[in-house]
Amino acid sequence: MSEEKVTVITVVYNLIKSGRVKYFKQMLRSVRNQTYKNIEHIVMDGKSTDGTLSLLDKYQKKGHIKYYSEKDNGPYDAMNKGIKKADSDYVIILHSDDYLYDKNVITLQMKYLKLTNSDYTTGDTVFIDKDNNVVTPYLGIAHRYDDKYFFLKGDNTPVFWMETSFNHEGMLFKKSVFERIGYFSDEKIYGTSADFKFEVDLVLKDIKHTHIPYNFLCFRTGGASSTEDKRFYKILEYIYSKFYYLDVNKNLAEYDKLRQNPTPLFVYSLKNYLTSLNLKNFDYKKCFDFLDLMLEKQNQWKNSNVWKEVKVKSSQITAKLFSILPLLKIKDKNNIKYYKLFDFLPLLKVKTNVNGTKEYKLFNFLPIMKIKKK
């Protein structure tokens, strides 16, 4: 029985100018060395101007790739174009800085996709630096609550509402998935988080997947971080507005607070929303158990003696004469420290501004000094 064709899609721009040619070649080798041989490799170039096209032309003549050079609106737009050009029913996204973990990746993906009758596969990611050394990855928010969760390791779809559950690179998709739920969203709206939105849609639209506990991808760190892009908050708004009302007054960062420390009402609303969807391919128990654990641990932290002691000590300090008479009282509130003599006479007010500047006022009203942070 002949192998069905799989299309690998890579997006590039000015590889020579950016000093990424060696990474591109490493990525190409990882595809060429696959035991699965019926592979079409499409490279989408964003109109490079530094000689990259000559490099691509050389590999196209060897039959290693098929490349297109045209203007795009960013990497995700280029990926969408590549997916539409794919002459196969199966698609893998692989960026030029990264590479497939070993020669068996695509063979395993196709095998388990067929065995489980799934629409896409996920696997684990190995994080590397510019010299190919394995580095410790960011562990993620979920890991804080449950050490079974590692960012981009294991099947993390039950925490899809919190952070990226898997790396869109190296995943094998049926091309029909994009036709069913749409392609990657506009980067002007979602920035580098467009893949996060796509992954959320995979879950909410009940697309069946299988997770293979195997390293699929070597991911080179140092690129743009989605959580550093404020458009990341738009993804949280996209998810949470479906089930939870929050008057953020245009401050979308409030959604991020809920993501990291959800309230009981938020958890209740999320559970009800997911239950109403009646998803057939979602692990409700794992998701709900984790949500309960988050509330339980938050409650433990807030009610612990250590928490209470730190909270009291950090907000108020009192020095007593002969252990009885209050001599000096220091109260810390909203970045302002108040110094009082005998617990009633205002002595000094010290305000720390957002930029680090400290303002000192004698008797709480007389400006005496301002110290700027260098």
pLDDT digits (tens, 9 = 90+) for 206-232: 999 999 999 999 999 875 444 455 678
Phi, psi of 12 (to 5 degrees): -135, 160
The per-residue pLDDT for range 61-85, each reduced to its tens digit, is 999 999 999 999 999 999 999 999 9
Cα 251 versus chain centre, distance: 20
Query: What per-residue confidence (pLDDT) applies to 334?
Result: 59
What is the pLDDT averaged over residues 131-138? 83
CA 77 to chain CA centroid, nearest Å: 19
Residue 312 has pLDDT above 60, yes or no: no
pLDDT band at 192 (very low <50, low <70, confident <90, very high): confident
pLDDT at position 240 over 80: yes
Note the pLDDT tens digit of each residue in 282-294.
Answer: 999 999 999 999 9
What's the confidence (pLDDT) of residue 1?
Answer: 58
Which position has the higher pLDDT, 252 or 34? Answer: 34
177 by DSSP, 3-state: which?
helix
Residue 325: pLDDT band with limits 50, 70, 90: low
Mean predicted confidence (pLDDT) in 29-55: 97
Provide the β-strand partners of residue 366: 362
Tokens 């009885």 — which residue? 324
Q: Which fold has domain 6-226?
A: Spore Coat Polysaccharide Biosynthesis Protein SpsA; Chain A (3.90.550)
Would you say 68 and 104 are in contact if contact means Cβ atoms under 8 Å apart?
no
Q: How far apart are CA 15 and CA 371, in angstroms?
A: 47
pLDDT(142) > 60: yes
DSSP class of 134: B
Q: What is the dihedral of CA 72, 76, 78, 84, to 10 degrees?
A: -130
Return d(Cα 83, Cα 38) in angstroms, integer: 17
Spell out a b/e string for 115-153, using b for 16 or more CB atoms within 10 Å of the CB, else e: eeebbbbbbbbbbbeeeeeeeebeebbbbebeeebbbbb
Q: Rounded to whole angstroms, how far apart are CA atoms 326 and 346?
A: 13
- Which residue in this structure is represented by tokens 């590999």? 59
Rounded to whole angstroms, how far apart are CA atoms 282 and 274?
9
Instruction: Give me 1's structure tokens.
Output: 């029985």
Residue type, 193: S
Average pLDDT over residues 132-143: 82
Angle value at C-alpha 137, between 135 and 140, nearest 5 degrees: 170
Considering the chain, tell me which residue range(s) the CATH 3.90.550.10 domain(s) occupy: 6-226
| Mean pLDDT computed over 175-191 | 86
- Mean pLDDT value across residues 182-195: 82
pLDDT of residue 216: 93
pLDDT at 57 over 90: yes
Q: What are 370's two structure tokens?
A: 């301002």
